Amino acid sequence: MREVNEDAAAHAGQRATGEAIERGDGGPSVEALLARIRQAPTATPTPTATGTDRKSGVGTDAGARADTSTPRVGEDADADAGKTAVPSGAVVDVGAPAVSSGAGADVAPPGAGTDLYANAPTVPFGAGAGAGTGVGGGGDTGTGTDRGAGALPALAVSAAPAAPAPDADGLAAVVAAAAGPFVPGGQLSPDTDFFDAGGTSVGAVELVAALEDELGMEIDLDEVFADARPRSLALRWLVTAGATAALSAAGAPATPTAAGTPAPAADTIGTAPAPGTFPFPVPAAAHGFSPAPAPGFRPALAPASSPAPATDTPSIPSPRIPSGATVTARTTGAGTPYATARPEDLDQILADLSLADRLPWTGSPEPLPPRRILLTGATGFLGSHLLLDLLRHSDAHVHCLVRAADEEAATARLGEALKSHRLPWSSEIRRRVTVLPGDIRRPHLGLSDDVWNKLAHEVDSVVGVAAAVDFLRGYQSLRQSNVIGALTLAELAATGPPKPLHHISSIAVFNEVGIASMGEDDPLAHVDRLVAGYDQTKWAAEVALRRARDHGLIVTAMRPGGIGGHTRTGAHNPQDLSSGLISAFGRFRTVPAFHCLNAAPVDWVSRVAAGVICEPDAWGFDYNLTGVPNTLDDVVRDMAYGGMHVRVQDWDEWRTDALARLEADPVPELGFLTRVLRSPTALKLCEATLKGPAATGERTAALVEALGLRPAARYDAQAQLRTFERLARDGLARLPDKGDQPYLWFSETTEGDVGPVGGGADTPCSMALTLSIASMYQLVKERRVDVGGELVCAAAHPAPLLVEHGDVWIRPEEGIPQRHGMRHQLLRYRLTLRDADGGRWWLEGHKYARARRDVWRQTRALNVEIGREGEPASFAGELVVPADSYVRDQIDGIKVDPRLTGREKRVAKLTWLAWFGAEMGRGLLGPFTRAAADLLDLRRTRTPSERPR
Amino acid sequence: MIFRTTNSRTRPTIRKVRTGTALRPLRHRLDPARVEEIPFRAGDGVRLGLTRIDSGEQDRPAVLLLHGHTASADMFLLPETRNLVDVLLDDGYEPWLLDWRGSCRLPYNETGQRYTYDDVALYDIPEAVSRIRERIGDRPLFVVAHCIGSLTLSLSMTAGLVPGLAGVVSQGVFLTPKLAGRTSLRMTVAGELLKNRIDHIPVDFRKVGLRSKYTPLFALASRGAGCPDPTCQILHNSAWGSGASLFLHENLSEATHDRLAELLGPAPLWILPHLRRIELARSVVRWHDTDHRYRALPPNALDAAARIDTPVLLLAGSENGLWLDSQRLCHEVLAHRQPQLDVSYTEIPAYGHLDTFLGRGAALDVFGHILEFLAERR
């Protein structure tokens, strides 16, 4: 893109300016700059006029939004960049007209998400909001440093709404009140993230609708996902909605206070902590709201060099601080939206990384297996399995940090979580677990100082599993859990006696589209190319903890890929992306063409993680707990093995197709998948996941071998079976059933005589049945075949009786004789029939294996009993499959689902014949072996020959 | 092939076999004063072991623990892990341990004084239960039974010999024993080939030595084994030569692994016909058809299952390498044929057969289910 090259030149100047401002000396003074800003609008009359026109006119189109500030930004960039005015201006101008013209012409604007504004009735949205959705990535492919330009324009924009700050508070409160009903507690404070408070994705959608209906506030859903604090929503809306008016009014913004402090702090009018408490270059600050001052990380425990937060400011080199403020206003590039991270997120990431620098210096821990472990995230999917594995494979006592009001609630919550993951929860577990009510997002984990200090001195191992896993939410929304939480654990590990910190990272740290390799020691992704907030937080946490290693802390980073369901219990994470994808594959019988799936079952991941934690020699390294990757071929073959023949589609085709199907026929349990497939950022994450290379884990493999653990095995059909069953039970996946097109079917005719029970069989009777199976799964697991067809039996009714429901079980109950004896069950028929007059009947039939020479007849002769519904049998007799029709119907006459290819049909037929033949063989052999054993028992047994007695 | 050893003159090829009936002492870490050994002989004169663990309280419900064949009461008292007796004591029960005649603390498996499972079902279990009842009065009595202990208990229960139990926990196998076809075949072939040459299969290589007629058995058992310990091989890899697996290796603690030879003894070959008859019928059947001393026992316990008068919890490890999914099958069969019975089934993921009691994590994964069952019915 043209912008890229131009940016370099443009930003050189901008950066100089930005740094100058930060230094507080040199360059133009703040007043001078502000003066320039004030001039800016007037200097670009044309675009502004357009915008204003639109607004004052109808104000219905998107153009108004884009126009209100974008051109101004362009101008600002020109102004403060000074020397490089022309190219810089060009950069922004490219974007701005694109949006405005597009909207003006009522054509959907290029940026995803922007089209949502097209319906905006009255409230004009500012470009700030547009950028806030993350569409600003267009031209912004450079590294962080090239973003120096922005402090000032941002100041300009943000300073304006700063004036009506009380309004912002009020509005934030209103938004918070509106959001209250959508969180479990029923209340949301203006500075609490909606999702942190327990809000769900569905809740977010409802909240957006409610805000629009009740308050007339139009906020994009992606906005909410990116940063869902009511205050930030309010401020962003204020900024964008009121920017035009406010800017002109704000002749003398309050920004002079910014002198000497980083720009963002200045922006956080009133709501911010003391300037510089945490000089977070929160991009959001550009809009004038509070920059998330990492409340979870208490600087009080920082090294002596920075005891008080206020003095920290200068010690942190943050050349990029102003930059964060800048680029927010950038609008959609005409090119690829969501190709890169939002700049404001990058700035926040850098600020968060610097938090690691205040960890205390620490020594090496004693290399002993842990005796007391602090575990976070024990209520989660991996965490709960890890808790059990730690208890099983060490003698340690485990302290579990659980988010709850008090200990009782926390214990109950942990118990519920373990049970929901099909793990035991008994007094034997409770006696080795201490539950601590707390919250990783809060300073000192939300623990009292006493508890914190006690933990710091008693615990000898810290295991951080807790993380907010949500592929829709943005960095701002997730960082508190995933980054600040990890740093708080590092702080705990470094406080008191040195302890190892074991951090569950994620293969998401490599989740860049087009990354070359994902080895344990390979470089992580370029963070600016990570788009999804989740990927960014996992990257930031791992990089921050790498920095912590420089403080002497022993940090182990374990990176699972996809965590599949338990191979034995089928426990899975119903909201997990891989659960959703597997379910969708099975439902739609299509798979996207992925490269490989780096997924391992939770039991293996947790067992290896527990092995690392309990083995001091393993501490301090990075591990990829990804197991053996599944390739596309593997998955297709596995699904065919289960009787689900899938077709492969291109990713884009699959996504469109799957989304269309999900929208046409919504599955509530798969709602999250629909949302992911709709979210541009989450799609990027999916794309990177599906197109990425296989993760490798040599170190993990070596460790597994050294510890004698079960080596990684491919997460194949057999291993996934239980999980798939549970997915089906929970409504996500769907097992083929009788209503579907059968996988395979054939007809069977039987003829014979029946008569009254106890009497002679003299009435001819025949059945014409169709036996079918919906999948091989049904056959192997339930050993059952579906039956349809009719029964002709004059004794019951002159007209044929229709089979309403019928099953045949093959070797039911392992063939155990119904009564003591040698008559083993071979097949059991159970049919429900209806006669022409509506009368209902039942038929129970058995084929028996006996130790007799008429084996061929045993496979064909069916002893039946027929009776009216709810009554005992009235007729009994024997029906036999005619020998000549057997082979014709049941071998040659097998039909297979016509949608399958010829090869698949042959395989299906042979699989059925092989399985059924083997079962019949076993069944027939049973009585003969018993007879043979009776003969062997007659053998003379000599007195035991072993001598000394 | 197994060689005859009768012409060897230079050194005795046969090890010494215990002949006395004194019980080998239990190994535990309880206060010796709390472990009360009760002299006990079965009705046919066979000396057995009955042990009561004193909890210091007189009003606790009693729980009788039945070991599997060739194991002993030691399997519930492992000093190296949190064992079932510890857990029961802490949860307010009074454990009782019976060493029935298949115990390795007794010599009968080795000395050729033959018995069948009919004897266990007719004499050992009912008499132990009535002896316990004499002591505990009308306090509730539960039974937790493992493997053959549970199989023979099912025969006693369907014969109506142990009425009025408060609850039964059955591990591994109950009324519908099912072996893998391969195991069954190997058991039969090996049994028929060896039965005139040896009468039991030892598990402790240190006691038989390198050069013995058992060496080929150990060699066969070591085929494809992951663990170099011959005792572990013949148990874990081969289950006394039958090719089944008794436990998941990774579930045992190292100390337990090293004590396997002490926990499990030699398996007699002469029990195989009864075992085979039971297994091929897929239900517990009586051996003695014509001996009227045994007529109290039903010819087929599954047919007599309606006589079960107590709640039953069927436990099984999901990876049981010996009895496979017998318990799931039993639950299915009883639910279909005897729907009035209170029978539940719990599968323990990632456990084999023996490790449900011997495993280092058994307290966490298994005993919780037992306690829960007992607590509902105490």
Give the separation between CA A40 and CA A909, rounded to whole angstroms.
77
DSSP characters for B131-154?
Answer: HHHHHHTTS-EEEEEETHHHHHHH
Domains defined for chain B, CATH in brackets:
32-176+284-377 (3.40.50.1820), 181-271 (no CATH)
pLDDT of residue A581: 86
Could you give the angle at which helices A485-494 and A533-549 cross, rounded to 10 degrees? 20
Closest alpha carbon within chain A to B213: A946
CA–CA separation, A83 vs B173, rounded Å?
Answer: 87
Structural domains in chain A?
1-163 (no CATH), 164-249 (1.10.1200.10), 357-729 (3.40.50.720), 744-896 (2.40.128.120)
**pLDDT at position A264:** 38
Q: Work out the pLDDT band at A221, boundaries 50, 70, 90.
A: confident
State yes or no: pLDDT of A464 exceeds 60: yes
Higher pLDDT, A79 or A749: A749
- In the numeric block, the tokens 């009020």 are attached to A170
Chain A residues within an 8 Å CB radius of B188:
933, 936
CA dihedral (B367, B373, B375, B378) positive or negative: negative
Q: Judge whether residue A302 has pLDDT over 60.
A: no
pLDDT at residue number A25: 43
pLDDT of residue B161: 96
Partners of residue B19 in chain A, C-beta under 8 Å? 949
State the average pLDDT over residues B342-358.
95
Q: Decide if B196 and A820 are in contact by the 8 Å CB cutoff.
A: no
B54-113 pLDDT, tens digit per residue, is 998 999 999 999 999 999 999 999 999 999 999 999 999 999 999 999 999 998 888 767
Residues 6+ apart with CB under 8 A from A252: none
Q: A268 vs B68, which has greater pLDDT?
A: B68
The pLDDT of residue A709 is above 50: yes
- What's the per-residue H, E or C state across A292-344? CCCCCCCHHHCCCCCCCHHHHHHHCCCCCHHHHHHHCCCCCCCCCCCCCCCHH
In chain A, % of residues over pLDDT 70:
71
State pLDDT tens for residues A873-896. 999 999 999 998 988 999 999 999
- Highest average pLDDT, of A203-217, A335-349, A566-580, comes from A566-580
Look up residue B2 and give its amino acid: I
Burial of residue A297 (number of CB atoms within 10 Å: 0-12, 13-18, 19+): buried
pLDDT for the residue numbered A580: 86
DSSP state of B280: H
pLDDT digits (tens, 9 = 90+) for A351-410: 999 999 999 999 999 999 999 999 999 999 999 999 999 999 999 999 999 999 999 999
ipTM for the assembly: 0.91
Per the structure block, which two tokens stand in for A635?
């998955």
> How far A934 CA sits from the closest chain B CA (Å)?
8
Q: How confident is the model at residue A110 (pLDDT cuts 50, 70, 90)?
A: very low
Q: What is the pLDDT of residues A611-633, one digit of tens each?
A: 999 999 999 999 999 999 989 99
Confidence of residue A53 (pLDDT cuts 50, 70, 90): very low
Chain A residues with beta carbon closer than 8 angstroms to that of B270 = 941, 944
Give how far A618 is from chain B: nearest CA, Å.
Answer: 19
Confidence bin at A337 (pLDDT 50/70/90)? low
Check pLDDT > 70 for residue A173.
Answer: yes
Name the minimum distance, in Å, from the CA of A673 to any CA of chain B. 30
| Residue A461 pLDDT exceeds 50 | yes
Q: Which of A155-159, A418-422, A897-901 comes out lowest in average pLDDT?
A: A155-159
Q: Is A949 in contact with B199 (Cβ distance < 8 A)? A: no
SS3 readout for A233-251: HHHHHHHHHHHHHHHHHCC
Give the Å distances, CA to CA, from A401 to A151, A387, A572, A619: 40, 11, 22, 22
Determine, for residues B112 and A944 on separate chains, whether the beta-carbon distance falls below 8 Å.
yes
- What secondary structure does DSSP assign to A633-652, as a single string? HHHHHHHHHTT---EEE-HH
C-alpha separations of A895 from A399, A771, A905 in Å: 60, 10, 8
Q: What is the pLDDT of residue B113?
A: 75
- B318 contacts A568? CB cut-off 8 A: yes
The distance of A393 to chain B (nearest Cα, Å) reads: 7
DSSP B8: -
Residue A456 Cα distances to A386, A453, A497, B272, angstroms: 21, 5, 7, 60
pLDDT reported for residue B15? 52
Of B192, B363, B369, the CB nearest to A936: B192
Which secondary-structure segment (H or E) carries A605? helix A602-614
Residues of B in contact with A391 (CB under 8 A): 361, 364
The pLDDT assigned to B6 comes to 54
Average pLDDT for B339-343: 95
Asked whether the predicted pLDDT for residue B209 surpasses 90, the reply is: no
Pairwise CA distance, residues A542 & A507, whole Å: 11
Do residues A528 and A144 lie in contact, with contact meaning Cβ atoms separated by under 8 Å? yes
Percentage of chain A surpassing pLDDT 90? 44
Residue A946: band (very low, low, confident or very high) from pLDDT cuts 50, 70, 90: low
pLDDT in tens, A505-550: 999 999 988 888 999 999 999 999 998 899 999 999 999 999 999 9
A4 vs A803: which has the higher pLDDT: A803
Which pLDDT score is estimated for A323?
37
pLDDT of B12 above 80: no
Tokens representing residue A916 in the block? 């059924």
> What is this structure's pTM?
0.79
Interface of A with B (CB under 8 A): 388, 391-393, 422, 424-429, 432, 566, 568-569, 603, 708-710, 813-820, 922, 926, 929-930, 933, 936-937, 939, 941-949
Out of B176, B281, B365, name the one closest to residue A424 (CB). B365
Residue A43 confidence (pLDDT): 41
pLDDT at position A225 over 90: no
Q: Residue A416, Cβ neighbours under 10 Å: how many?
A: 12
Kindly indicate the confidence band of residue A336, based on its pLDDT and cuts at 50, 70 and 90. Answer: low
Between A663 and A112, the more confident residue is A663
Check CB contact under 8 Å for B368 and A926. no
